């Protein structure tokens, strides 16, 4: 699994998204969790840079270093400790990464449980709670039909939500996973042209469009 993750990250950095989709199909959906979470970490650090606590910051970095070295069990224990004892911003980040570690360990239900806990924790900033919904969607996309997934993502579908475009992308992936390529095209076409969408999402939408079967007639 670690080698797969590394390969996915390398391919994405090299903008070879189409090759990844053709090679791995729905497995790419799971790997995207890691990419989105990396973005989330940047957003969170930016939003909370004035309230960082040196000790808790070091604790979080130490846990992430364990994760990078492949010690997922050790990282999970450290992140769980920070989640229970840290200030809200650090606790939320710790729980998000803990869910990532659980998922990497193959513990899907535990990962989903953590995401659910984050989403329902009123002490956390909405950006973390909504992100937990989005990240859980990357798991649910392979487990639920598109209608159920859309209902699950409804809280972050509003256009003023910072994760709106990520949710739209998820719906397209869900349609592709269900081989409803016409519906996927309906979602991806405007997404690839939306000037308000993040550049990365627009690019991926265009690349995903190129992988869809040609429309007959």
Do 124 and 147 reside in the same domain of the chain?
A: no
- For residues 105 and 172, state if they share a domain: no
Q: What is the DSSP letter of 49?
A: G
Q: Which residue among 85, 101, 132 closes a domain?
A: 132
Considering the domain architecture, whether residues 74 and 168 belong to the same structural domain is answered as no
- 10 and 104, same domain (yes or no): yes
Cα 55 from Cα 195, distance rounded (Å): 41
Q: Count Cα atoms within 13 angstroms, Cβ side, for 126.
A: 6
d(CA 2, CA 95): 20
Q: Is the dihedral of CA 24, 188, 99, 7 positive or negative?
A: positive
User: What's the confidence (pLDDT) of residue 125?
Assistant: 86
Give the residue from 99, 132, 165 where a domain finishes. 132
pLDDT at 112: 93
Number of domains into which the chain is organized: 2
pTM score, two decimals? 0.70
Domain that holds residue 110: 1-132
Pick from 104, 84, 95: nearest CA to 1: 104
Same domain for 6 and 75?
Answer: yes
Please check whether residues 111 and 6 belong to one and the same domain.
Answer: yes
User: Quick check: 159 and 126 in contact, CB under 8 A?
Assistant: no
Is residue 174 a contact partner of residue 149, using CB atoms and an 8 Å limit? yes
Q: What is the pLDDT of residue 71?
A: 87
In the chain, which residues have pLDDT < 70?
1-54, 215-217
The last residue of one of the domains, among 132, 163, 193, is 132
User: Does residue 83 sit in the same domain as residue 107?
Assistant: yes
113 shares its domain with 66: yes
CB of 96 within 8 A of CB of 121? no
The tokens of 190 are what? 């405007």
Statement to judge: residues 157 and 214 lie in one domain: yes
In order of 58, 73, 102, 117, 154, the CA distances from 95 in angstroms are: 16, 14, 10, 9, 22
pLDDT for position 46:
52
Please give the pLDDT value at position 93: 85
Tokens of 97: 């990464």
Check whether residue 107 and residue 204 sit in a common domain. Answer: no
Q: Are residues 102 and 47 in the same domain?
A: yes
pLDDT of 8: 47
CA angle 134, 199, 180 (to 5 degrees): 55
Q: At what angle do helices 199-211 and 17-24 cross, to 10 degrees?
A: 50
Half-sphere exposure of 96 (CA within 13 A, CB side): 30
Same-domain status, 215 and 185: yes
């Amino acid at each position: 699994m670690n080698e797969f993750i590394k390969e996915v990250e390398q391919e994405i950095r090299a903008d070879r998204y189409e090759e990844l989709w053709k090679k791995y199909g729905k497995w790419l959906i799971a790997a995207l969790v890691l990419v989105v979470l990396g973005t989330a970490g940047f957003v969170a650090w930016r939003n909370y840079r004035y309230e960082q606590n040196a000790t808790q910051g070091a604790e979080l970095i130490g846990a992430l270093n364990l994760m990078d070295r492949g010690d997922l069990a050790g990282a999970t224990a450290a992140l769980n400790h920070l989640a229970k004892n840290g200030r809200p911003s650090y606790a939320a980040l710790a729980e998000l990464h803990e869910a990532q570690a659980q998922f990497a360990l193959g513990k899907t239900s535990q990962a989903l449980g953590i995401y659910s806990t984050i989403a329902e924790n009123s002490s956390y900033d909405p950006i973390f709670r909504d992100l937990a919904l989005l990240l859980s969607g990357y798991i649910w996309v392979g487990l639920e039909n598109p209608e159920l997934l859309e209902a699950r993502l409804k809280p972050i579908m509003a256009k003023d939500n910072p994760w709106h475009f990520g949710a739209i992308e998820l719906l397209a992936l869900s349609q592709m996973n269900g081989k409803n390529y016409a519906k996927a095209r309906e979602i991806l076409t405007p997404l690839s042209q939306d000037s308000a969408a993040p550049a990365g999402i627009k690019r991926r939408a265009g690349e995903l469009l190129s992988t869809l079967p040609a429309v007959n007639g």
